[in-house]
Structure 1
């Protein structure tokens, strides 16, 4: 039984040591904070104190002189929500002008984003329809090539290559401006005269010309599809960039400028109140100074009059003062 008591005593002692060790560590960490000097010495029982600092709100709760809870609710610093400017009337005008510019830029970028989105959807519809038609065109071209090989023989490839010197169909590119975004456009054109009319004259000439016409149609569809897909990718990048700028203006720049304007107005109002209070204090001081000077002048005149009376009657100055003060009072016993 005694061994059990010793174990319990040792366990309690260990818990007490750990408690004080943890408490000392917490105190060490807390009192190493930069703004903690404001709270040292405040140990009222069951007292929750809150003091605002430049970095946030610090809350501490003490019970019986011991720290029982500590929490810091860090607010976003004012510097991240507004510009670091000097609160003056000139700066207020500058920030207002910047806000007007940001609002106009946001409206223009929003319109640009809408225009690009409309064009993006139109190009997407064209891509879908072009791909659907491309399947039919490529199928027709493949069948035409198979017919030409069947009729003209397997050496039709060598015959065509011998008769062709330069490419008659070429592709050129140009740029189209859509809401300030330059979209590449590809188009094919025929250069020179085609001298392949006699190809397959011995056998299969008609099928060869039909195959050529089918592949010319395929080239037309493929060039159009390449132009649409390139424009699609370019518009996708432009829309993402524009939307990123719109979101930055709407969620970062404009709120920051508005908070800056609110901050400057508040500081200017505070300065105006301080000036008004200072003027009232100055007026009160001047009023008290004037009253003091009037009282001094009155006292000086009374002293001069008392001195004059004392010289005329041959009495002391205090007697003259009493005589003057008594003479000013109404004597109720004398009836005239």
Structure 2
């Protein structure tokens, strides 16, 4: 793991421990949310992939049908049908595309749909110009209308496929970004915070042991000093009692000590 053995450069205090714990809780919550987001995006990604496969099959059928209908129209109406259709087209295009946005787990996916400006269904045989409905009527008009409908259907499928492809690419980028964030939180951020918490706890425990040992040493020193004071007081009491006895006998303690320290000792005094 990238974060194994690494930690933050912090001061090991109780306040810092609380802050790092809060950061770890936030990282854990964010990791769980990003993991759920990645799963949701992956499910949508697979669903769009299936729709793309179906749309590509439908596009192949639609384009084949459009090409075949064009060949039939040219065979039935002849080459002049092109000029008739071109002359009947005037003004803006009737088949248009509008864009929407779908929100999937916070990711905005573009969605395109085709529609007719006059309110008709895409792929229908109606047109905004009355001349277009009469194009090729003298020869092969039915085939021209069928060709027009087939090409409108092909355009509709192409718009749907473009919408799915755009959503597919957008989801691919979003999933990669989300997975990178999930891996960073799981393998770098969380281990580093956990190592920092372990370090701070170890330092606090060591400081607590040092403080406990220091207090024990202080108590032992105080106890030793108290015992020395008691011994000095007892010794002083003993000396005081001995001095009082010697005073009763008429000899002070200092005189007795000087007599004992003197080299000329009197055998009558020293028993």
Normalization by structure 1: what TM-score?
0.69
Question: Which residues of structure 1 form unaligned runs of 5+?
Answer: 1-75, 322-336
Matches within 5 A, 1:56-95: 81-95=6-20
* Residues 220 and 103 (structure 1), Cα distance of their counterparts in 2 relative to 1, 3 Å cut: same
SS in 1 for 2:133: coil
> Is 2:187 the partner of 1:261?
no
Deviation at 1:318, TM superposition (A): 6.7
2:30 maps to which of 80, 105, 109? 105
Question: Deviation digits for residues 221-244 of structure 1, max 9, x if unmatched?
Answer: 001100000010011011111111
- Unpaired runs of 5+ residues, structure 2, are 119-126, 258-271
Is the aligned partner of 1:209 residue 2:134? Answer: no
* 1:164 Cα offset (Å): 1.1
- The secondary structure found in structure 2 opposite 1:194 is coil
How many residues matched? 245
CA distance in 1 between counterparts of 2:136 and 2:114 reads 26
Query: Following TM superposition, by how much is the alpha carbon of 1:304 offset from its aligned partner in structure 2, in angstroms?
Result: 2.5
Residues 3 and 192 in structure 2, CA contact (< 8 A), matched pair in contact too = no
Q: Do the aligned partners of 1:307 and 1:320 also contact (CA within 8 Å) in 2?
A: no
Aligned equivalents of 1:88, 1:320: Cα separation in 2: 66
Q: CA deviation at 1:207?
A: 1.0
Contact 1:92 1:261 in 2 (8 A): yes
* Structure 2 counterpart of 1:304: 240
Q: Does 1:143 align with 2:68?
A: yes
In 2: Cα distance, 1:132 partner to 1:77 partner: 47
Normalising by the residue count of structure 2, what TM-score does the alignment of the two structures yield?
A: 0.85
Compare the two structures and name the one with the higher strand fraction: 1
Offset of residue 77 of structure 1: 11
Residues 263-301 of structure 1: CA distance to partner in whole angstroms, max 9, x if unpaired? Answer: 111111101100110011000000001011111212222
RMSD: 2.0
Q: 1:145 to 1:77 in 2, by over 3 A?
A: closer
Deviation beyond 6 Å, 4+ runs, structure 1: 318-321
CA contact (8 A) 1:186 1:224 kept: yes
Structure 1 equivalent of residue 266 of structure 2: none
Q: Which has the higher contact order (CA 8 A, sep 6+)?
A: 2
CA distance in 1 between counterparts of 2:51 and 2:22 reads 43
